[in-house]
Structure 1
Amino acid sequence: MEEDYGYLEIRLNELLKKKGLSKNKLSHKAEMNWKQIDNYCTNSITRLDVYVLCKLCTVLGCEIQDLLVFHPPGEE
Structure 2
Amino acid sequence: MNGTRGTIEIHLKELLEEAGLSKNKFCQRAELQRSQLNGYLNNTITRLDIDVLIRICDTLDCSISDLLEYKPG
TM over 0.5: yes
Cα distance in 1 between the residues matched to 2:31 and 2:47? 19
Determine if the alignment matches structure 1 residue 63 to structure 2 residue 68. no
Q: How many residues align?
A: 72
After TM superposition, the structure 1 = structure 2 runs for residues 35-46 of structure 1, keeping only pairs within 5 Å, are 35-46=35-46
Q: Which runs of 5+ in 2 are unaligned?
A: none
Return the letter of the residue paired with 1:7.
T
**Identity value in percent:** 46
- Displacement after TM superposition at 1:31 (Å): 1.1
Secondary structure at 1:32's aligned position in 2? coil
After TM superposition, the structure 1 = structure 2 runs for residues 1-76 of structure 1, keeping only pairs within 5 Å, are 4-73=4-73
- Displacement after TM superposition at 1:4 (Å): 3.2
Cα distance in 1 between the residues matched to 2:43 and 2:70? 13
Q: Which runs of 5+ in 1 are unaligned?
A: none
Larger radius of gyration: 1
Secondary structure at 1:46's aligned position in 2? coil
